[in-house]
Amino acid sequence: MEYRRLGKTGLEVSVVGMGCWGLSGGLGHVSQAQANATVHAAIDAGVTLFDTADAYGPRLSELMLGKALHGVRDQVLIATKVGQIGWNTGHLLSYESVEHVHNCCDASLYRLGTDVIDIYQCHQPNPAHPEVLVEAFEQLIQAGKIRSYGVSTDDPAVLQAFDARGGNGVCQLGYSALNRTAERELLPLCADRDIGTLVRVPLERGILTGKFDRDTVFDDMNRSAWNDAARAEFLAQLDAADQMRPLTNARRSLTQVSLAYLLAHPAVTSVIPGMKTPEQARGNAAAADVALTADELQMIREIPEAATVPLGASGKPIDRSPT
């Protein structure tokens, strides 16, 4: 495993972290025993970063992760999120109050079974009142309840708003071999401001694991918006992913090649693919040992992008045309 400095936070994190949404049952039931086994397999493979959110479940992912880390909390870093409204979260307030953010943090600390959160992130990609969240985050740092803060967004303007005081240390962003939008503006902005990056959805919701084909049928649990447009997008993603298969061999899977592509970018600190089994944890962690050549990286860059277009602060799609 390789470890990198997480921007201005100064924290050292594994280049492959564990995304914990799957622990909440979003892709099928996960028992506490399975969660424990997966988390410990990840730790044994060198993973030190675990990313969750109060909205996952809701609350269930934090609870399960806290139990899984019992006895090993001091060996890892915990990242969680606050601020998601609706989406079955139970949060109906709009985070216009610093006190509301404080209360959410206290609840996350309790569920995680810890006295400090290493990385506390805004979960709304474009909150109405970023200044309220930043004020709360800075107060929580002073209180010793969090060590650093950041925002989960794909919009450079939102990131700039959170870093207006210069204290935003982390940006969690969508980025994959099939969606390279972040390479054009967001990642350079993070590098310029010394903001560490955590890459979410690095495997395009399973497309880059190689486990799907053109005959795959999804149910409402994992593709809730399944319609003609979604089907066409899915097939385009499969075609793009197939163009990466020549880069795989007996020693490196499509998953590992896909993660290695992201880790080759100098502004990427860590990727956080979902993991719900020990086998997935070990396989994902092994991506840290895969090095792609300059020619292989260029081959991937020449593959047409095929991913859902991210939305900007205005609610309009971010321009994905090459620059």
- Quickly count: other Cβ atoms within 10 Å of residue 87's Cβ: 11
Can you give the CATH number for the domain in which 161 is found? 3.20.20.100
Residue 229 lies in a domain: yes
- pLDDT tens profile 242-283: 999 999 999 999 999 999 999 999 999 999 999 999 999 999
Q: Alpha-carbon distance 20 to 107, whole Å? A: 18
Query: Nearest Cα to 79, choosing from 164, 197, 209?
Result: 197
DSSP label at 154? S
Res. 309 pLDDT band, cuts 50 70 90: very low
According to the model, what pLDDT value does residue 313 have? 41
Which of the following is catalytic: 3, 56, 95, 149? 56
**145-199 pLDDT, tens per residue?**
999 999 999 999 999 999 999 999 999 999 999 999 999 999 999 999 999 999 9
232-259 b/e (C-beta count within 10 Å ≥ 16 → b): ebbebbbebbebbeebeeeebbbbbbbb
Handedness of CA 161, 317, 82, 121 (dihedral sign): negative
Torsion of CA 179, 245, 16, 311, to 10 degrees: 10
Question: Is residue 311 in some structural domain?
Answer: no
- On whether the CB atoms of residues 269 and 5 are closer than 8 A, the answer is yes
- Token pair 């084909």: residue: 213
Q: Is the pTM of this model over 0.85?
A: yes
* Average pLDDT rounded to a whole number, residues 66-93: 83
Q: Does 225 score more than 90 pLDDT? A: no
Question: What pLDDT, on a 0 to 100 scale, did the predictor assign at position 308?
Answer: 54
* pLDDT value of residue 322: 33
**Residues ≥6 apart with Cβ < 8 Å to 240:** 178, 303, 304, 305, 306
Q: Is 56 a catalytic residue?
A: yes
Whether 139 maps to a domain, the answer reads yes
Domain total for the chain?
A: 1
Q: How far lies 58's CA from each of 18, 21, 109, in Å?
A: 18, 10, 15
- Report the percentage of the chain scoring pLDDT > 70: 88
Examine residue 82 and state whether it is found in any structural domain, yes or no: yes
Amino acid making up residue 140: L
pLDDT digits (tens, 9 = 90+) for 33-75: 999 999 999 999 999 999 999 989 889 999 999 999 999 999 9
Query: Which region holds residue 103: left if phi is over 0, alpha if psi is between -120 and 50, else beta?
Result: alpha
Q: Is the pLDDT of residue 122 over 60?
A: yes
Does residue 315 belong to any structural domain of this protein?
no
Question: What is the average per-residue pLDDT within 107-114?
Answer: 97
Give me the domain span that covers residue 36.
Answer: 3-301
Beta-carbon contacts of residue 316 (< 8 Å; ≥ 6 apart) = none
- Let me know if residue 314 belongs to a domain: no
Bond preceding residue 58 cis, omega within 30 of 0: yes
pLDDT-derived band at 294 (thresholds 50, 70, 90) equals very high
Give the tens place of pLDDT for each residue, 194-221. 999 999 999 998 899 988 888 776 654 4
Distance, CA of 227 to CA of 8 (rounded, Å): 43
Instruction: Tell me if 38 sits within 8 A of 224, measured CB to CB.
Output: no
Q: What share of the chain is helix, strand, coil (3-state, %, to 5)?
A: 40, 15, 45
* Angle of CA points 179, 206, 171, to nearest 5°: 50
pLDDT band at 12 (very low <50, low <70, confident <90, very high): very high
Q: Is residue 184 part of a domain?
A: yes
Q: In what order do the strands lie in the sheet containing 49-51?
A: 18-19, 49-51, 77-82, 119-122, 149-152, 170-174, 196-200, 270-271
Residues in contact with 94: Cβ distance below 8 Å, sequence separation at least 6, in sequence order: 85, 128, 129
User: How many Cβ atoms sit within 10 Å of the Cβ of residue 271?
Assistant: 29
Q: Is residue 152 part of a domain?
A: yes
CB 84 within 8 A of CB 53: yes
Task: Check residue 216 and give its pLDDT.
Answer: 74
